[in-house]
């Protein structure tokens, strides 16, 4: 049996909750399995009541058709593609049993087989629904405020970027956006997992599907309905569910040869004793039993349910894992390389001082306005802070032309008739300016502003360390063989001060993007499996070079989000060790599943070869092991699994 591909069934807007029975019957395989069971029970009653044999034979054959047509069709389609599907082996075994008069045993095989497949599909649907259910939280309608102040309700999917929407007290937020008026407490637990409502004020971001508290908010829409955080979570989890882990690909590759071997062994078990004079019926029955118990259904299902459950669980808690391969790689992590600005810090630095070198030529206000104009097109947190400071002081920011981002260095643009460059001090001879030295000594950051090629001044900025940084670094240290490494383009003094604050022992500072790549490559060459965590454009090359990578989703650049293997939507550093622990637990479950599946196959095959294994018992053992490994994997879908992974005592070196 194979894992059913997750279908996207979520839709925008709140939908009525299905009853448990209605939800089950929505799965096609459940309906066919139920029909097959009814026909089987009817046939059994007729047989026990000594009804005419054509009656119960007909009922049993109808059971064959209801429960076996789908796997038979899929198996034949696979056979046309020159692939041997183990589902087809089950159907062939059932038909073989019927051909020697064991119609009851064959029908029982079909029932158990169909029920097992239905349970797998229900389990897969549960995994899918656990994430798609987030979409049900988004309201069907939004209240849009027109420029003249009038309010009118529109379908939420018709809201566009730039619209102003009103969120009344007690209502769910209808779109992703930024608060432009009002203050309220917003329950974001559906996205962030935080049980305490977050205070939202002007300029704070809010997300569709979250629950507004006692205050009214006016929100400027920043994302289309199809691109909200909730929609992205669902889409990325669906994409990840469509991928296959390396372990799964290896198993499927081996499965083809193994299944061919099972068919060959079955033919030998049938033909050789028959040629030696054995009776037809017991010989064929033993061969059919062997083909059933030797089929690798449970082995095929051992890998993907745990990984997909872990991916879905992480998605519900605001962490997007982009593929099953990424989940496997996260489990391999032996060392974590962390960026500074926007990763260990909040990424919202504040301008603390403006120093003009020649105030008579270019004063502080003009210097800040020129720097802000050049930084307008920048995605870097320092650039955004400079622009915000200029606007906050009411300065006029001129339009810039010929904007050019210099990764790891700064930006360059033409502002009016002047060429303005805002750069890192480490890349210029002006890194010894008093303002630069003072900022670095205080653990801050400075940038140097050049106007027409000459240094015009420096801007001092300070950032705030994330509240969870110390705990996250401590957890990462305890669960990796090498302590975390700080890799940053910032100055050595500021980097060292931050590293001491959060508990990082190794610091690599003043790195250009190519230097970060070299650092990661060196760690990989030493045998480490490196996880890079970052948020800026200059982190993307290092992320691509690493074994796996994590992006800070709220402040991360588009390039970084595209490059990363995983994204934390709420910029929660604590989620990183939790996901590593969850990935390692998923790997342990995969190993346990493989051991369980292989052991049961060996026991049943040995029993059939050296003893007499009844067909119904062989079927029950084979299908039971398949269901067991599937349900074992689904344990990682629960909130308890996430809490367990987040417990410091559970986070240890793999």
**Residues labelled catalytic:** 339
From CA 51, how far away is CA 340, in angstroms rounded?
79
SS3 406: strand
Q: What is the DSSP secondary structure assignment for residue 14, as one 8-state letter? A: -
SS3 369: helix
SS3 571: coil
Buried b (16+ CB within 10 A) or exposed e, 364-375: eebbbbbbbbbb
From CA 570, how far away is CA 322, in angstroms rounded?
16
**Token pair 């079909």 in the structure block, residue:** 110
SS3 track for 246-257 = HHHHHHHHHHHH
From CA 261, how far away is CA 157, in angstroms rounded?
54
Query: Exposed/middle/buried for 129, CB within 10 Å: 0-12, 13-18, 19+?
Result: middle
3-state helix, strand and coil shares in percent for the chain, rounded to the nearest 5? 55, 15, 30
From CA 618, how far away is CA 170, in angstroms rounded?
57
From CA 638, how far away is CA 631, in angstroms rounded?
12
Residue 193 near residue 155 (C-beta atoms within 8 A): no
From CA 290, how far away is CA 298, in angstroms rounded?
15
From CA 261, how far away is CA 295, in angstroms rounded?
10
CA distances from 353 to 60, 364, 390, 498 (A): 85, 9, 12, 20
Q: How many DSSP H helices and E strands does the chain contain?
A: 23, 22
- CA angle centred on 6, ends 238 and 1, rounded to 5°: 140
Q: Widest CA span of the chain, in angstroms?
A: 112
Query: Exposed/middle/buried for 151, CB within 10 Å: 0-12, 13-18, 19+?
Result: exposed
SS3 447: strand
How many Å separate Cα 146 from the centre of its chain? 38
Q: Strand pairing partners for 567? A: 320, 551
Structure tokens at 533: 């965590």
Query: Exposed/middle/buried for 460, CB within 10 Å: 0-12, 13-18, 19+?
Result: buried
């Amino acid at each position: 049996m194979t894992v059913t591909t997750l279908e996207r069934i979520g839709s925008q807007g709140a939908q009525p909750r299905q009853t448990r029975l209605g939800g089950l019957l929505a799965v096609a395989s459940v309906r066919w399995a139920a029909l097959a069971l009814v026909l089987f029970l009817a046939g059994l009653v007729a047989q026990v009541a000594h009804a005419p044999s054509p009656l119960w034979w007909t009922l049993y054959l109808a059971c064959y058709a209801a429960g076996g047509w789908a796997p038979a069709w899929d198996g034949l389609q696979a056979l046309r593609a020159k692939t041997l599907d183990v589902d087809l082996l089950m159907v062939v075994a059932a038909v073989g049993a019927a051909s020697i008069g064991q119609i009851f045993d064959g029908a029982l095989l079909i029932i158990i087989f169909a029920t097992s497949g239905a349970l797998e599909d229900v389990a897969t649907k549960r995994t899918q629904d656990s994430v798609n259910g987030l979409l049900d939280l988004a309201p069907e309608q939004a209240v849009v405020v027109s420029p003249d102040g009038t309010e009118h309700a529109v379908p939420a999917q018709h809201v566009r970027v730039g619209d102003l929407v009103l969120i009344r007290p007690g209502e769910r937020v209808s779109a992703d956006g930024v608060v432009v008026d009002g203050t309220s407490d917003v329950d974001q637990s559906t996205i962030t997992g935080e049980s305490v409502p977050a205070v939202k004020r002007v300029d704070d971001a809010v997300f569709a599907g979250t629950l507004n508290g006692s205050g009214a908010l006016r929100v400027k829409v920043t994302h289309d309905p199809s691109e909200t955080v909730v929609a992205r979570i669902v889409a990325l989890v669906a994409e990840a569910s469509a991928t296959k882990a390396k372990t799964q690909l290896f198993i499927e590759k081996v499965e083809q040869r193994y299944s061919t071997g099972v068919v060959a062994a079955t033919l030998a078990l049938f033909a050789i004793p028959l040629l030696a004079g054995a009776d037809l019926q017991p010989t064929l029955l033993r061969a059919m039993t062997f083909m059933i118990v030797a089929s690798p259904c449970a082995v095929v299902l051992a890998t993907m349910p745990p990984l997909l459950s872990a991916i879905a669980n992480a998605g519900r808690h605001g962490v997007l894992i982009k593929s099953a391969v990424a989940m496997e790689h996260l489990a391999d992590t032996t060392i974590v390389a962390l960026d500074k600005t926007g990763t260990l810090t909040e990424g919202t630095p504040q301008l603390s001082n403006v120093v003009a070198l020649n105030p008579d030529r270019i004063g502080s206000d003009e210097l800040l306005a020129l720097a802000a104009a050049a930084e307008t097109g920048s995605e870097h947190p320092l650039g955004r802070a400079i622009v915000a400071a200029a606007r906050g002081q009411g300065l006029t920011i001129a339009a810039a032309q010929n904007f050019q981002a210099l990764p790891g260095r700064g930006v360059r643009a033409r502002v009016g008739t002047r060429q303005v460059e805002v750069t890192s001090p480490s890349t210029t001879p002006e890194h010894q300016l008093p303002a630069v030295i003072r900022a670095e000594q205080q653990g801050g950051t400075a940038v140097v502003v050049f106007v027409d090629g000459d240094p015009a001044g420096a801007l001092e900025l300070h950032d705030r360390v994330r509240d969870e940084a110390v705990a996250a670094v401590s957890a990462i240290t305890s669960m990796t063989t090498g302590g975390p490494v700080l890799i940053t383009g910032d100055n050595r003094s500021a980097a060292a001060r931050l590293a001491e604050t959060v508990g990082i022992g190794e610091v690599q500072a003043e790195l250009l993007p190519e230097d970060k790549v070299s650092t990661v490559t060196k760690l990989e060459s030493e045998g480490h499996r490196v996880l890079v965590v970052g948020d800026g454009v200059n982190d993307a090359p290092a992320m691509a070079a690493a074994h796996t990578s994590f992006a800070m989703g709220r402040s991360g650049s588009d390039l970084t989000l595209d490059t990363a293997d995983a994204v934390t939507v709420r910029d929660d550093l604590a989620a990183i060790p939790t996901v590593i622990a969850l990935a390692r637990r998923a790997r342990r479950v995969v190993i346990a599943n493989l051991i369980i599946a292989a052991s049961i196959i060996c026991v049943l095959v040995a029993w059939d070869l050296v003893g007499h294994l009844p067909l119904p018992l062989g079927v029950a053992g084979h299908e039971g092991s398949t269901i067991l490994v599937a349900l074992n994997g689904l344990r990682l879908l629960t909130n308890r699994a996430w809490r367990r992974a987040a417990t410091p005592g559970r986070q240890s070196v793999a």
